[in-house]
Amino acid sequence: MKEIAIDVHGLTKSFGGRTVVRDLSLQVPKGEIYGFLGPNGSGKTTTLRLLCGLLTPDSGEGTCLGYDILKDQESIKRHVGYMTQRFSLYADLSIRENLEFVARVYGVADPRAAAKAAIDRLGLSGRAEQLAGELSGGWKQRLALGACILPNPQLLLLDEPTAGVDPKARREFWDEIHGLAAEGITVLVSTHYMDEAERCHEIAYIAFGELLARGTANEVVAQSGLSTWIVSGTGLHDLAQDLQTRNGIDMVAPFGTELHVSGRDRPALDAAIAAAKKQDGAHRWTRGEPSLEDVFILLMDSAKDNFA
């Protein structure tokens, strides 16, 4: 049995009369990377903060790192590294100065040695004296991660950590996250990138306060009950508009020179596809497998905005 890092039940949180998180229950094993997906404003950030004691739920209960999320919030915070969406270190200090400052704030025994170790680990050695404000997005994210791990947290919260970062920098960042998880650190991360979601051990899809799906990426796809056809060729725009009006088709999504045509009722979908194929001789129709992005879009379309 895996050791459980986070075990919460029935968490609900409202702001100004709006329910941002509703009746959420989760178990996260120690050393897992747990991803949170969902549209903007769906409660992902609030969920992260509830799970680690940074916010108090209106109702519900549970533990984080063995501490009660209602009674032991200060104890939880001492074991958490939190990386916000916005870069929050000092732009007019160098990488080394920023890390040494953070180390002193956390009372690390040897701030200089701790900062140097973080710099070496994250490949920042050649840039140690560069001002943080002069760094590109990818290097800023490395610096922010270095600051998070300085106090040796047991839990990392990463709120859309690679937004605006190029693919190579994102891959290197995720390689480091997996290294930290292998050392036993639990990671909670929100993301909009499907390739990043697939790098998580488990994911949860949250839409406007409600948890709609959870499990591994493959389990979430299987749970959706979605079937998909792939249409390839040129001039797909008019075809896509026609397909969207047919019964049995829940979603039509363009992918370059292909359309992903999906539905949750397979017989009805197949009947709609058969009828469309009779009228169309210009494209290739093949049965495909639904992707995580297909499921993401379907869930987003079916969710009700609690602020609407």
- Domains in the chain, ordered, with CATH? 4-79+153-216 (3.40.50.300), 227-289 (3.30.70.100)
Identity of the amino acid at 245: T
pLDDT value of position 305: 58
pLDDT value of position 124: 83
Answer whether 175's CB lies under 8 Å from 17's CB. no
Encode pLDDT of 244-258 as tens digits. Answer: 999 999 999 888 889
Q: How much is the pTM?
A: 0.87
Q: Tell me the C-alpha distance between 2 and 28, whole Å.
A: 9
3-state helix, strand, coil split of the chain in percent (to 5) is 35, 30, 35
Count CB neighbours of 194 within 10 A. 16
Answer whether 262's CB lies under 8 Å from 251's CB. yes
What stretches in the chain show pLDDT beneath 50?
none
pLDDT value of position 114: 92
- Locate tokens 């990138």: which residue? 193
Ramachandran class of 256: left when φ > 0, alpha when ψ lies in -120 to 50, beta otherwise: left
pLDDT value of position 304: 61
Q: Tell me the C-alpha distance between 178 and 41, whole Å.
A: 27
> What residues have CB less than 8 Å from 213, skipping those under 6 apart?
204, 205, 220, 223, 224, 295, 299
